[in-house]
Amino acid sequence: MCGICGIWEYGASEGRVELPLVERMRDEMTHRGPDDQGSLIFDEGRGGLGFRRLSIIDLSPAGNQPMHGCTEDVWLVFNGEIYNHAQLRQGLEQRGHHYSSHTDSETILHLYEERGLDFVNELEGDYAIALWDARREQLVLARDRVGVKPLYFHTRGGRFIFASEIKAILRHPAVTPEINEQSLYHYLTFLTTPAPHTLFRDIQKLPAGHLLIVKRDGTVELKQYWDALPPEQNANFAGRSEAEHSEEILRLLRDSIRKRMMSDVPFGVFLSGGVDSSANVALMSELMSQPVRTYTVGFEDNEELNELDSARAVAERFATDHHEVIIGQRDMQQFLPELIYHQDEPLADPVCVPLYYVSELARESGTIVVQVGEGADEIFAGYNWFRKYVRIYEQFWRRAEQLPVSLRHSLTTLAKPLLETSFNKRTAIELARRLGADEALFWGGAIVFDEDFKHRLLSSELSERVNGLSSYQAVEKHLEHIAEARPQSDFAARMSYLELKLRLPELLLMRVDKMTMATSVEARVPFLDHHLVEYAMSLPVDLKIKGANGKYILKRALEKVLPADLLYRPKRGFGAPIREWFRGDGGEALGGMIMNSSMRSRNLFDYAFVARLIDEHRQGKHDWSFHLWALLNVSLWYQRWIG
């Protein structure tokens, strides 16, 4: 994959974009594309496009960008891969389109020339696309269906700027980095900023499955072209047996992995030893005559988080070319400045740290493309908390939400003991509050500072400025949409839909993109092929959750390729030992980074409360590790980008 950027001074009466500025923006992302670079001034000097290339398909100079189609009316810069480009090319050539390379990039251009904005419906892949159309006088941006690749933009005063990374936009002298306080409020809850906003004021990100069209007159249209809604009821589909579902899921996954092996450079798999990454290895090995390259990361002195033995067992079973890296607290602290730089805006998921080091290992071993296991748990209800929320919903929440709000509020005290059978006390209190406030049970799989906790953290001044704001607003619009569009969808499908709108594209996939591209490695996500996502969204909850098992039907499908002891052992999530990092020898320094950040001068938080969280965690009274990691990330971010 690559790094793209551009400027269009659509409100200018004469040319004003200078090539050196475009190149400075472009070269801020050299890590995304160390193999080549390109730039273009267009629209009589009013616009510029920049491109950094990570060569994956057609390694020749013919694959460099910016690239034009049959004429020079349409120009492209593109980050990603189009997995069905060869099939599309056959039809395009038959209809008279002429190719100058063997790249997937050129297929995008010819599709757009032929179909206009409908071009995106033909694409299968992961992408962030920018097209300049001189004839229509418009700039078109597109982000792939699920949101594997990011794309950011800034528009003001007749000027539109976009890039694969925010840091490239910040190289433009007209853009001043400043914090978006409403986004900060949501970040504290979700560990990331929900699209379309970012933590930078006046810089936005394109939501997954959307197009953005900028016209000469400054009109900006945001258009959704794909949604992860469960399909309408289909009698034939509903009549399928469990065995038929299993067979189709395995076929779709096998086909997805095959497509994502498209590469002219070496590729491999990030192997944790769990079901999803092991499935990638097993199915990839079927299609290869040489060993699959596998990469695993472990932690010093944190055996409970290590899956090294499991990964080694899978590597041995499938005779892979296996590689490992072991990291500790010192590695984390050394990496923190680079972490903040590469994240652009804080992604308070500690998995970013091991993910960076295993990506670095792959690159140093000569592997440029990797397949990862993200997405399976979200679309097949694999997490333990998935089962807990479904159980609570079925046991009483579904009936309680039908009652008048006044009666629901009176149930909160009675609900707490029941909620505490599935969740910790802090979460049970928050869920009881939601019940009484007429809010949805499920807000997402990574909720850290809840509404009450946030207001204990925020300073009185910031609390006053965000008065009336609730992070439920970021959730409610998606839940209302699926309830209206698919009223028959079950609770598990609505949970998956929300994950596909918030946590998956803006946290999990964003962390994969940022950390792999920091090391010039491309990651591909076979479980999020949109055909497989659509199929999974059509399945009822009893095929996803059965007894104590999540991902039931996926595991049944994988019984043909993976051993039962791997498929049905208790789930161990991929994490990082931040609890120990904050309590260990370096924990005092980490707390000091929060307390002494220049962010403190903005009076956004109650630092007496922050100090209490740090103290309680270090003394072992409470586990505030995720809260502290969120505060550490945003504190270092502010210091790095805002000052």
Active-site annotation, residues: 2
* C-alpha–C-alpha distance, residues 149 and 208, integer Å: 9
* C-alpha–C-alpha distance, residues 293 and 266, integer Å: 9
The rounded radius of gyration (Å) of the Cα atoms in the chain is: 24
* C-alpha–C-alpha distance, residues 49 and 41, integer Å: 7
* C-alpha–C-alpha distance, residues 588 and 117, integer Å: 54
The answer to whether the CB of 430 falls within 8 A of the CB of 450 is: yes
Starting at the edge strand found earlier in the chain, the sheet holding 293-299 runs: 321-327, 293-299, 267-270, 369-371, 522-524
Give 34-83 as a DSSP string.
BSEEEEEEETTTTEEEEEEE---S--SGGG-SSEE-SSTTEEEEEEEEET
- 461 CB burial (10 A radius; 0-12, 13-18, 19+): exposed
The answer to whether the CB of 218 falls within 8 A of the CB of 11 is: yes
The answer to whether the CB of 39 falls within 8 A of the CB of 66 is: yes
User: Is residue 530 helix, strand or coil?
Assistant: helix
Instruction: Give which of 556, 599, 574 is closest to 459, Cα–Cα.
Output: 599
The answer to whether the CB of 553 falls within 8 A of the CB of 247 is: no
* C-alpha–C-alpha distance, residues 75 and 92, integer Å: 18
